[in-house]
Amino acid sequence: EPEVTQTPSHQVTQMGQEVILRCVPISNHLYFYWYRQILGQKVEFLVSFYNNEISEKSEIFDDQFSVERPDGSNFTLKIRSTKLEDSAMYFCASKIVFGVGQPQHFGDGTRLSIL
Amino acid sequence: GENVEQHPSTLSVQEGDSAVIKCTYSDSASNYFPWYKQELGKRPQLIIDIRSNVGEKKDQRIAVTLNKTAKHFSLHITETQPEDSAVYFCAAPREAAGNKLTFGGGTRVLVKP
């Protein structure tokens, strides 16, 4: 069964540094998402992306965050100047078509630790 | 925006007993409700979902019920097994824009052998 893949599985970064999290969505999927989960808390929406542009973003997704689909397969989340509170698990998700009845499939996540 | 409340936050059951988790949502336009299971350090995995044109859906030991009038839906796990121990999240997607998922707070289920 096709899966969403994310790299790296764990990223440790000094505060203030830039970090890029990478995702390869399922190949025929058209809608892409980033979510984050602070340890012990619920999963929170960050951003959705379709047709090379952001569809929606949350309040968390400020100007320190950006997303990009640099080629036909990768989908990246960049944090320009990391803060301690950015430490979390970041999940990429994708789904095949528009419509709430279509499930989103999640990757295994990247654990981001800011020191 | 959508608000999803989930109860209980923790649930401990004896192996073989049933577990029930309840969620309420605020947006009456919502019409699709997935449930995700998350094992420690792993991805949220879709285990069952329901659309608003049905009131109940079953898949082996798992069932989900939906009450659109009351705006709540529930996950039922029967004959629980130790491998059912995990955190379960309900969610509701937004109709507009990118169909983002709003998750409930999660229920940590522990099945005691």
Per residue in B80-112, pLDDT tens? 999 999 999 999 887 666 788 899 999 999 999
Number of alpha carbons in the 13 Å side-chain half-sphere of residue B46: 20
Given a contact cutoff of 8 angstroms between Cβ atoms, the answer to whether B16 and B3 are in contact is: no
Quote the CA–CA distance of A19 and A17 in Å, as a whole number: 7
Residues of B in contact with A107 (CB under 8 A): 43
Top residue of A30, A32, A37, A42 to mutate, by most chain B CBs within 10 Å, is A42
Q: Per the structure block, which two tokens stand in for B60?
A: 């082996």
> In chain A, what's the furthest Cα-to-Cα distance?
40
Residues of A in contact with B49 (CB under 8 A): 103
Q: How confident is the model at residue A99 (pLDDT cuts 50, 70, 90)?
A: low
